[in-house]
Structure 1
Amino acid sequence: MPTGAFAWLVRGMVWMAGVGLLVLLIVSGITTPLDNGLYDLHARFWHYTPKDDVVIVAIDPKSLDAIGRFPWPRSVYAQLIDRLTADGVRGIGMDVTMSTPSDDPHNDTLVAAAIHRNGKVVLPVFAEAVNLGGPLQEALPVTAIASSVAALGQVDVAKDADERVRGAYLKAGLGSPYWPSLALALIQLARGSPITDLPGLHDPANDDASPYLWMRNNYVLLRYAGPSGTFGRVSASDVIDGNVPAALLKNRWVLIGATSEGLGDILQTPDSPMPGVEYQANVLESLERGWLVTPFDFLAQFLLAAAMLALPLLLYGLPGIGRGLWLLLASVLLVLAVCVVLLRSHYFWWPPMACLTVMMVEFAAWRLLTLRRR
């Protein structure tokens, strides 16, 4: 490389060309699959042990054999909620839809009364199109039940383009993101007030939202506790029959949902297929412990990556590093180290692959030019 002032001019031109390519890569999302793969790889080695604050009451094969085929009469949920109330649970999140009236209205009355007696039950909200191709509508619990719940929480699942679920939206709603997630609703219910300083990536489109669009906000990446089965589970039929010691449930959050594969509520996570109710358990545990990861927005990604692109240009020719593969290796390792430190120490996710791609392209182009001059 040229020396003196001209050398720094060349380095500046190389850096500006790299920055231009960097913008194209970030905006196009070409390197997103590589970033997702890196996050998945890291997630598999970043597990933790849950604190036993969250217990899953599973609609599992044992319960289906004991109670009958799904969906169950709502009188079954009334019995289940009353048993959990007697056991002194902290709160109940139901990942079970109750948006249509029962064939027997008395069953709706029974479950509404059980929900009212407990006083700490959160039911789900989601968006659906009533007619094929028609506008979205919010599916709320039927009026008789909705009037008895302590809170409602959206159960939107944040699937990426590859159908894997790496994160969650803490807020979502039709027209504007006003519904808290199921996990957030439970925690706010326990605290007695809304949480205003939520983590997560904000969607700027929310300022100009259509009333017919399902809007999402506060996107966070999850630090999964582990593969499916990491959280404690008890069978719903065992709870109803009184076969679960009250000590296992007292002062704990309980999430009720399907774990049987035949019921179709299975999500693909970075670790393994996982029931939707255990996905909600991961959101709840991470939110309570402050372990939700906030992805960098475009500006933060760009500024950090642009700064990191200057590294090989500044390190070029230094003793012990040189001008070849050692320079590239040192730069790549430093970029990856910054990514890991931000993730593990500060719970920020900086996708590094666009930066690394530009570094490698610049290195390859420089080597090619050097070889042609010889």
Structure 2
Amino acid sequence: MPTTAFTWLVRGMLWMAGVGLLVLLIVSGLTVPLDNALYDLHARYWHYTPDDRVVIVAIDPKSLDEIGRFPWPRSIHAQLIDRLTADGARGIGMDVTMSTPSNDPNTDQQVATAVHRNGKVVLPVFAEAVTLGGPLQEALPVQTIAQSVAALGQVDVAKDNDERVRGAYLKAGLGSAYWPSLALALLQLGHAPNMALPGLHDPAHNDASPYLWMRDNYVLLRYAGPTGTFGTLSYVDVLNNRVPTDLLKDRWVFVGATAEGLGDILQTPDSPMPGVEYQANVLESLERGLLVTPLDFLRQFALSAVLLALPLLLYGLPGIGRNWALLLTSVVLVLVACFTLLRGAYLWWPPVSCLVVIAAEFVAWQLLMRDRRAVHA
């Protein structure tokens, strides 16, 4: 068999073996930690400056000192909502749980009345097991309050296996993903509720059990920055009218805990972050079109399979030759493809599995060619 025909046969065989290894790596998830580390490294240098349309009203240490130990009487929240209504807030996302009746039913009615007067308040929904090991149930606000809200939004947090929060599920629910996220529900108050959403879809969403918490429209976040990037006002200052009206007028307002020991503290690629600021990042990214959609398996596989051919096609070209420059060139081209998709199209293609297979192809090619040269020596 002519040398050229033999080398092309070897290239084809290596490519097919590489495709098989690629499938194993993608399906097994072995390279996910390295892909996540690469995304985190990039995310730390891909911040943006948020505008002033999103404001956090924080249940912070100052508020706890002045108002008292949390949880507060719900009449306090009713007063805050009325204050935000008077200041002309564009919409209010309350990241505060009100799923059990208050000891004083009058305070629940006060909240319901304040929420109704405002007309643009979103409250959280979450899933919990009432008994240990029991089935999940959706925890909604108490009926009196739930009947008055403009919308409800789920506050599920998309934690990866390493407990870091890189993304968000825009839809989730028990049995099927029908609740929008808190940030999405708030944004939809000013947009069509059926607006097209980005995100990776759950392929099994039509086969869900009514007792399972289902998620859909998974997106990666481009965080504005570390904790404290968004404008934050103290709850007690807003409550007591110590904040200029123009800091709240026509703003999306999230109300939630930032004090240590209250609410969720999420580990992001940058720093620990209160759940309420996480919601602010989701809304800002949604409104400005900055959410990143991961490629599904088929698209990830197809792109990787094409790029696996790079070192096999480049082998022997002038200026590249048959040495480590070939491997370096291939790696650089893969990374350029990855970050071009991310920055230019807001699509995330995890490249590490492709890089591993390319390295394996390179080593196998070197061994095969060395053995062939030894036979003909």
Q: TM-score range by the shorter chain?
A: over 0.9
Rounded Cα–Cα distance in structure 1 between residues aligned with 2:264 and 2:25: 35
1:201-240 correspondence to structure 2 within 5 Å: 201-240=200-239
Find out whether 1:30 has 2:42 as its counterpart: no
Rounded Cα–Cα distance in structure 1 between residues aligned with 2:304 and 2:193: 35
Aligned to 1:295: 294
Q: What SS is found at the alignment partner of 1:263?
A: coil
For 1:25, the aligned partner's letter is L
**Cα shift readout 1:180-223 (whole Å, capped 9, x = no counterpart):** 011111111112x2134210000011010100000000000000
1:38-117 correspondence to structure 2 within 5 Å: 38-117=38-117
Shift of 1:371: 4.7
Shift of 1:142: 0.2
1:164-175 correspondence to structure 2 within 5 Å: 164-175=164-175
Rounded Cα–Cα distance in structure 2 between residues aligned with 1:195 and 1:334: 39
Q: What SS is found at the alignment partner of 1:84?
A: helix
User: Which one is further off, 283-292 or 4-13?
Assistant: 4-13
Q: CA RMSD in A?
A: 1.0
For 1:21, the aligned partner's letter is L
Aligned to 1:163: 163
For 1:22, the aligned partner's letter is L
Q: What SS is found at the alignment partner of 1:85?
A: helix
Q: What SS is found at the alignment partner of 1:204?
A: coil
Rounded Cα–Cα distance in structure 2 between residues aligned with 1:99 and 1:215: 21
Aligned to 1:8: 8
Rounded Cα–Cα distance in structure 2 between residues aligned with 1:312 and 1:326: 10
Aligned to 1:132: 132
Q: Specify every segment of 5 or more residues in structure 1 that has no aligned partner in the other structure, as ranges.
A: none
Shift of 1:263: 1.2
Aligned to 2:268: 269
**Cα shift readout 1:51-100 (whole Å, capped 9, x = no counterpart):** 11100000000000011111111001001000000000100001110000
What is the TM-score of this pair, normalised by structure 1?
0.98
For 2:314, the aligned partner's letter is L
Rounded Cα–Cα distance in structure 1 between residues aligned with 2:133 and 2:12: 52
Find out whether 1:246 has 2:245 as its counterpart: yes
For 2:330, the aligned partner's letter is S
Rounded Cα–Cα distance in structure 1 between residues aligned with 2:311 and 2:194: 43
Rounded Cα–Cα distance in structure 2 between residues aligned with 1:368 and 1:56: 60
For 2:48, the aligned partner's letter is Y
Rounded Cα–Cα distance in structure 1 between residues aligned with 2:48 and 2:296: 27
Rounded Cα–Cα distance in structure 2 between residues aligned with 1:239 and 1:81: 10
Shift of 1:110: 0.6
**Cα shift readout 1:222-263 (whole Å, capped 9, x = no counterpart):** 000000000000000000111110000000000000001221
Identity of aligned residues (%): 78
- Given that 2:263 and 2:275 are in contact with CA atoms closer than 8 Å, whether structure 1 keeps it comes out as no
Rounded Cα–Cα distance in structure 1 between residues aligned with 2:328 and 2:360: 14
Q: What SS is found at the alignment partner of 2:261?
A: helix
Aligned to 1:342: 341
Rounded Cα–Cα distance in structure 1 between residues aligned with 2:195 and 2:189: 14
What is the TM-score of this pair, normalised by structure 2?
0.97
- Given that 2:199 and 2:217 are in contact with CA atoms closer than 8 Å, whether structure 1 keeps it comes out as yes
Rounded Cα–Cα distance in structure 1 between residues aligned with 2:52 and 2:363: 51
**Cα shift readout 1:303-356 (whole Å, capped 9, x = no counterpart):** 000000001111100001111110000000000000000000100000000000
Rounded Cα–Cα distance in structure 1 between residues aligned with 2:21 and 2:332: 21
Rounded Cα–Cα distance in structure 2 between residues aligned with 1:252 and 1:196: 21
Q: What SS is found at the alignment partner of 1:262?
A: coil
Rounded Cα–Cα distance in structure 2 between residues aligned with 1:17 and 1:365: 10
For 1:72, the aligned partner's letter is W
User: Which one is further off, 193-202 or 143-152?
Assistant: 193-202
Shift of 1:7: 1.7
For 1:146, the aligned partner's letter is A
Shift of 1:296: 0.4
Rounded Cα–Cα distance in structure 1 between residues aligned with 2:73 and 2:316: 74
Q: Specify every segment of 5 or more residues in structure 2 that has no aligned partner in the other structure, as ranges.
A: none
- Given that 2:183 and 2:283 are in contact with CA atoms closer than 8 Å, whether structure 1 keeps it comes out as yes
Aligned to 2:358: 359
Shift of 1:129: 0.3
Rounded Cα–Cα distance in structure 1 between residues aligned with 2:301 and 2:130: 41
Q: What SS is found at the alignment partner of 2:128?
A: strand
Rounded Cα–Cα distance in structure 1 between residues aligned with 2:154 and 2:254: 14
